[in-house]
Structure 1
Amino acid sequence: MNNGYEIQPRKDAFKEGIAALTGLATSVVSDVLGRTIGAVDILPVNKSPVSVCGNAVTVNARSGDNLMIHKALQFLQPGDVLVVDGGGDISRALFGEIMMTVAKSRGAIGAVFDAAIRDVEAFEKHQFPCWARGINMRGPFKDGPGSINVPISIGGMIVNPGDVILGDCDGIIALPPELVMEGARLGKEKELVERKTIQSILDGKYDDAWIDATLKQKGVL
């Protein structure tokens, strides 16, 4: 740490875990891991359906300032997801078409901001998934300070460098490597159960007896 600046080495991607989680729904993985994992109010800016599963490169940026985000772009490798804690401030955009183009050219597959972004049409045009707290045309300062590859908080969710980021139209979750394989295993089991439930509804065989049973236990019925 030097006058509010800190740059740590990037964490290698957990490729096996990323492969295992790819294609699973964020809601399902969050459910099977206790329904406590997931960012709040960080939503996709793209109009088309989006999904991403990759390695977290983290940035803690001063509110309204993107100097250290520019520096973090130099760390990006194929399969990375840039994740930025901008303090939830949406008064200035921290990321736009130029920075997105740099990130994409270096192999990044998505970006997440607890802050505002701009040039939204470019993200849609180039099919670059991005999740953010807001949108604002006003540009940022470029003075710092900030930190790269340190623990951050996105929408109330802790993200560490090297976490696996899973995102879709519902939002973003981050899993530490030690939870990834269990989350993938349980998530695949739950998706199978949900597909069977939906089919039972379509077949007219849906069993909702659990609703009254639960209410009886609570003394309602």
Structure 2
Amino acid sequence: MSGVIVTGPPKADARDVEALGRYGVATVSEAMGRTGLLGPGLRPVQQGVRVAGTAVTVLSWPGDNLMIHAAVEQCGEGDILVVTTTSPSTDGMFGELFATALARRGVRGLVINAGIRDTQELRDMGFAAWSRAVSAQGTVKATGGSVNVPVAIGGQVVRPGDVIVADDDGVVVVPRERARETAEASEAREAKEAAARAAFLDGQLGLDRYGLREKLAGLGVRYVTYAEHTGESGS
């Protein structure tokens, strides 16, 4: 296929990206109305790492990493490389050499809807990565694709310059126009959860804090004793 390499796309404000990086993927998704998640299939090769950055997107032919080479040139400080393929692929399209080149340019991590390899080396060098698969299978450099165009992963569209937040729970995309409002909503959600956490530590039940007893009653859910439920006397 032919393709295009788009240069200089608009990006979310760095201050908003930094603000979003303070919150977990679950919090950010909930703050956007439970949207933006790229699906449970993208898993981290490391643990205990959270990154946030602006997307540089790649659309590649399966089993061909030519366009990742082209994308490295378009990456800079604070970016996250986001790669997908035109059809499903698990080939190891990305490894330690790519990570070395990207780290040199200030890239914060990789999200790839395909395979990755050299995982131990990536962990050793501290390069954060999330992938659909881990595979030693190599690739070719033979087919054109595109860089910095909208791509679809897990039913979500990722555009160049959108914010990517990734942690142990997965990956979420925040449209660049919504970065600031989402950061503010995430802060409010964290404050609400902190209050709930304190209440639970004090012994309060979620049933009472969230008014769920009334909801259960409204749904016709009843409390009955064991004897009432089983017809046994219990003696």
Same fold (TM over 0.5): yes
- Contact residue 64 and residue 142 of structure 2 kept, 8 A: yes
Identify the residue that residue 193 of structure 1 maps to in structure 2: 192
Q: 3-state DSSP class of the match of 1:114? A: strand
Q: Which moved more, 1:8-17 or 1:142-151?
A: 8-17
Instruction: Give, as a single letter, the amino acid of the residue that structure 1 aligns with 2:219.
Output: K
Q: Secondary structure at the match of 2:160?
A: coil
Are 1:84 and 2:77 matched, yes or no?
no
Q: Secondary structure at the match of 1:219?
A: coil
Structure 2 residue ranges without an equivalent (≥5): 223-235
How far apart, CA to CA, are the structure 2 residues paired with 1:176 and 1:182? 11
Deviations 1:139-158 (A, max 9, x none): 01111221000000122221
CA–CA distance in structure 2, aligned partners of residues 174 and 9 of structure 1: 21
User: 1:219: which partner in 2?
Assistant: 220
Q: Distance in 2 between matches of 1:87 and 1:140?
A: 15
Separation in 2, partners of 1:33, 1:88? 29
Q: Larger Rg: 1 or 2?
A: 2
Q: Judge conservation of contact 2:114–2:133 (CA < 8 Å) in 1.
A: yes
| Contact map agreement 1:164 1:175 (CA 8 A) in 2 | yes
Aligned to 1:9: 7
Q: Deviations over 1:21-54 (max 9, x none)?
A: 12111101111211121111111111x3111111
> What SS does the corresponding residue of 2:34 show, helix, strand or coil?
coil
Could you say what secondary structure the match of 2:36 adopts? coil
Mapping 1:63-212, distance limit 5 Å: 63-87=62-86, 89-209=88-208, 210-212=211-213
Alignment of 1:41-52 (within 5 A): 41-46=41-46, 48-52=47-51
Instruction: Return the alpha-carbon distance in structure 2 between the equivalents of residues 177 and 126 of structure 1.
Output: 29
Q: Percent identity among equivalent residues?
A: 35
SS at match of 2:92: coil
Q: How many residues align?
A: 218
In 1, the alpha carbon distance for the partners of 2:71 and 2:206 equals 51
Structure 1 contact 84–154 (Cα < 8 Å) conserved:
no
Moved >6 Å (runs of 4+):
none
The equivalent residue for 1:18 is 17
How far apart in 2 are the matches of 1:151 and 1:72? 14
Take 1:10 and 1:118, find their aligned partners in 2: how far apart are those partners?
A: 30
The answer as to whether partners of 1:43 and 1:169 remain within 8 angstroms in 2 is yes
Partner Cα distance (1:19, 1:102) in 2: 23
